[in-house]
């Protein structure tokens, strides 16, 4: 069986607190099931490899988003083609914003996105920071949000999860993250997959079935992860 090929986009520039952990989580969950996996780091100037099954992108500092901006633009057509082809993507925070149409910073700069996700982000003066637990189709998602951009979903994107007002995408509408086909965006760092094992397996299942493998995943012992999620959900912001 060809290893499941996971691209880690901009591992050096976009790696605020633990986003790399999502790569670790997916890799191990495959290895624990004896499914072969290959991680391909893709940095500025590198080409995307062929036969990509899953793409992960993390959050970065404002300066890092500037450094990768042009390179990310260049990848636009390729990323849009991959998304149309059903490649599974998980984008956290900064990568989530850049996969959208645009990010208008509070300083008045327009940073164009690549339009894979039908979302628009506008900078704001306040930062949404804190522990965050939200309910999705794939169980509770638990992480830590830290962003000043407020994201609005267009008609093509559906919310990833429901939250209480005052947090999540725009701090108002009670949604967190988005889903569009096999592309997922979220503001949850943490990394989100560590304490949201059902969601992690959903990404793997989609990637495996897309390329024609069985999506039947052997169950894993996730008692610790669920315990950690329960504690995190009870921690005040």
Partner 1 sequence: MAMLPVVTGKLALAGLRLLGRSGNALPGLVVERLFPRYLARTLAALPHGVVVVSGTNGKTTTTKMVAEILRQRFRVLTNDTGSNFVRGTIGAAVSSSTWTGRLDADVAVFELDEAHAVRFVERYRPERVLLLNVMRDQLDRFGEIDHTARLLQRVASAATVAVGLNRDDARIAAIASAIDAQPVWYQVAEELRHLFPTDEELYGGGSRAARASDGAAAELVAWDAEGTTIRIGETQQTFPLRASGAHNAQNATAAAAIASTFDLSPDDIFQGLRAVEPAFGRGQSFEIDGRDVSLHLVKNPAGFRQSLAAARVEDPARICIVINDDDADGRDVSWLWDVDFTGLADGVPVSTAGVRAADMAVRLRYDGVEAAAVDAALAPAVDRALTATRPGERLLIFSTYTAMWGLHRHLVARAKEVRA
Q: How far apart are CA 102 and CA 151, in angstroms?
A: 10
User: Is residue 72 at the binding interface for partner 1, with CB under 8 A as the rule?
Assistant: no
The closest alpha carbon to 187, from 159, 229, 207, belongs to: 159
Contact 57, 10 (CB under 8 A): yes
Binders of partner 1 in range 116-135 (CB under 8 A): 127, 129-131
* Sole residue written with tokens 């495959």: 30
How is residue 167 written in tokens? 């947090």
What residues pair up with 62 in beta bridges, in sequence order?
Answer: none
User: Is residue 189 at the binding interface for partner 1, with CB under 8 A as the rule?
Assistant: yes
Query: Would you say 103 or 157 has its CB closer to partner 1?
Result: 103
Of residues 39, 48, 217, 228, which one binds partner 1 by CB under 8 A? 228
* Sole residue written with tokens 């591992």: 11
- Residue of 8, 132, 147, 189 marked active site: 189
Q: How far apart are CA 74 and CA 52, in angstroms?
A: 18
How is residue 76 written in tokens? 């636009």
User: Is residue 12 at the binding interface for partner 1, with CB under 8 A as the rule?
Assistant: yes
Of residues 4, 30, 68, 232, which one binds partner 1 by CB under 8 A? 232
Catalytic residue check, 93: yes
User: Is residue 158 at the binding interface for partner 1, with CB under 8 A as the rule?
Assistant: no
Question: Contact residues for partner 1 (CB under 8 A)?
Answer: 11-13, 15-18, 20-21, 24-25, 28, 61-63, 127, 129-131, 143-144, 146, 189-191, 194-195, 224-225, 227-228, 231-232, 235, 237
Residues annotated as catalytic (active site), given as ranges: 93, 189
């Amino acid at each position: 069986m060809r290893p499941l090929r996971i691209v880690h986009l901009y591992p050096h520039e976009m790696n605020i607190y633990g986003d790399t952990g999502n790569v670790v989580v997916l890799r191990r969950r495959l290895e624990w099931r004896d499914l072969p996996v290959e991680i391909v780091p893709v940095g500025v100037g590198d080409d995307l490899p062929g036969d990509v099954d899953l793409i992960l992108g993390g959050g970065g500092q404002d300066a890092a988003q500037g450094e990768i901006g042009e390179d990310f633009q260049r990848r636009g057509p390729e990323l849009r083609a991959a998304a149309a082809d059903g490649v599974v993507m998980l984008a956290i925070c900064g990568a989530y914003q850049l996969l959208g149409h645009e990010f208008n910073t509070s300083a008045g700069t327009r940073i164009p996105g690549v339009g894979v996700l039908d979302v628009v982000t506008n900078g704001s003066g306040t930062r949404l920071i804190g522990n965050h637990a939200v309910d999705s189709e794939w169980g509770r998602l638990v992480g830590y949000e830290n962003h000043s951009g407020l994201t609005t979903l267009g008609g093509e994107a559906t919310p990833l999860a429901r939250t209480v007002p005052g947090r999540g995408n725009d701090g108002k509408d009670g949604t967190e993250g988005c889903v569009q086909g096999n592309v997922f965006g979220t503001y949850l760092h943490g990394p989100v997959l560590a304490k949201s094992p059902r969601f992690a397996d959903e990404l793997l299942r989609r990637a495996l079935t897309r390329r024609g493998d069985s999506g039947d995943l052997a169950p894993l012992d996730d008692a610790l992860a669920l315990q950690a999620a329960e504690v995190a959900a009870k921690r005040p912001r």
